[in-house]
Structure 1
Amino acid sequence: MVTIKEALQIIRDQQVDLRIENRNLGECLGYSLAKDIYAPFDIPSFDNSAMDGYALCGISLNYEIVGEVAAGNQSEVGLKKGEAVRIFTGAKVPENTTAVVMQEKTRVKGNRLSLEQEPKEGQNIRKRGGELRKDQVVFEKYFTITPAGLGLIGSLGIAEVEVFRKPVVNIITTGNELVEPGNPRGEGQIYESNSFALAAAIEKHGFQYREKKQIEDDFEKIKEGIRASLETSDVLILSGGISVGDYDFVKQALEENGVKEQFYKVFQKPGKPLYFGRKGEKYVFALPGNPASSLSCFYIYVLPMLFRLSGSEKTGLDHFSFPISHDFENRADRPSFLKARIQEGKVEILNAQSSSMIQSMALGNTLAFIDAETKLAQGDQIECFLIS
């Protein structure tokens, strides 16, 4: 058995082989860059107007309007002192432009333009290179592409981006008692839900699963299911069958498939019977079958590995310290990840903390980490891992 700290360190210490692929710009959201991106030209690439109004030459209160410049107009326009042109946001300012004045602060009569006050040189002009200079680093390697990042890369004229490929994930749930939702449920059976929760958590954090399948508690079927799933995945997640019961076949089935154990069992609550293994460049997490344990272990241990394999700078869930809103005693003999809710800057530990209960996790938005046998007073700070 290992501690939480030791388990996380073992995961961090895995040597991973990051694979690179080229993706169309529109398909890069959430991917991490495999190399630096440089500006191929100045941004803006020309002096342009920051608003609808008039481009002016010289400092005065009165000008003669001599034309109009719209955004995208490629004709070369020049101004002489005392002249102005109607101009629109984003349009290239004419040669010799002193300033741009917004239309709301002007009066027009015929071709004469009058201002409420004299303009200041350079006002309302976006200067060439004001945001980026040619050959400047725009994004460094490992940057995770955001919606704004996509927009900026597109503004550089880049249509294809070199990124790290994300891992392929497969999910297996095991158990004779499990019934697919929508089917009749017999006495002693429960509806299978872990695969839905795990699949949703995978997708929420920008990854995808290739397949999920349910296997009954039969050693040969589990062994074959693991073999087939390992062939088509980079990360295999199993739920159930990893404890020490008579029908817990997962650990042995993994061993017979050549998976090398990295750790088994973590000194924590919930999720003690957690397994992490490796076969070459493929990684296996066997999670407990109880719903809250399964999902908690995914958030704390599996997610950091998915980020690592995708070249992301993220190391897991965002986590911060918050004051607890009430007195609380953790009577467990192990460090605990407790289902909790953050409201108005304070964290409340929720009821129904059993590893088989997922309602409190569904209603909560964080996992609060509290050491074993610890008493907390209202206002004490505790570390919280944000799950929503």
Structure 2
Amino acid sequence: MDFLRYFKSQQGEMIKFLKTLVQLESPTSEKKAVDRCSAEVVQRLAGLGVKIKRFPQKEIGDLYLIEYGAAKTKTGADPILVLTHIDTVWPVGTIEKMPFYLAGDKVFGPGALDMKAGIVQAVFSLVAINNLGAVTNRKIWLFINSAEETGNDDSHRQIAALARKAGLVLCLEPGLPGGAIKVQRKGRVVVKIECFGRAAHASTPDKGLNAIDELMTQLQRLKKLKIKDMTLNVGLISGGEKANVVPEKAWAICDLRFWSSQDLDQIKSYLREMKPVLRGARVKASLQSFTPPMEFHRASRELFERARQLAASLGLELIPGRSGGGSDASIASHLGRPCLDGLGPEGEGMHAAHEHLLLPSFVQRTALLTRLLLEL
């Protein structure tokens, strides 16, 4: 079947469904709103004979696992896990200021690119496979996360549990410009650095220990760590109480990003061994949160090569790319599973007022996803 031609014919319906999802605003913090949007997706899939598993949540939207092909697969191979998320960064009411609209080959709207278009891809791919009566090589597990934007321990545990049972993982986050998909993502640690000195009157600074001076030195040292392409952002900082008092306490919260597990080990080792620079001062580093890197290991390289061949059969070029931000695919990759990310459409402006996706890519990536689900 010519999937490019087929999904081109479905483009109008795909846009219509995307508009429905975008207008059902679903910020991570608004459970009821997220649940309403998820229900719209589940309803679309219910007629395909899928098995629907709901994981109820109290603070965030419910999580969903949609199992397709449980009784009709060609092989006994482990399932394909398809990762999506329904939540967005946009608060309720944004749609009034940033309405859904088309302009040429661009589709605008809050959450359209990140990543409700990816959910539309998954739904239309499964519908197409079902309508064809095609038998897939593997079961297909579609996971709908409700708290990807902020992160959530329960959703991370669910993803990890599913990834351990999956044969491979596809993530429908937006693609990169020029047709690239994401085969690498930086890992991230958020660390709090606290420095403790001794208070004194500003007229006699030699009788005190300036905690802010200590903190500034520690941050400069951390920034000079010899890790290739590591980035450090000091996002929050505080210290002291009055201008005429030598500050006794100071702290900063930092975002560090890196490419490999070896980099992570080096960062952790450095933080454990931090020593004060000023004699008598104390320094403490505590890990606040952690996202593992998505590494382009052997299993993922083999999966990419197979996907590249399937893309070529559609007349599409698949290019390996990398991103400085994390995603749920990072969790699966950290467990050693072959992963491809960025299989959603190309576009620009994630988390920005000009967020939009490119229509040709929307159709092409849906056709590619369908081939991947059928052939892998």
TM-score of the aligned structures, taking structure 2 as reference length: 0.21
TM-score of the aligned structures, taking structure 1 as reference length: 0.21
Q: Which has the higher contact order (CA 8 A, sep 6+)?
A: 2
Higher helix share: 2
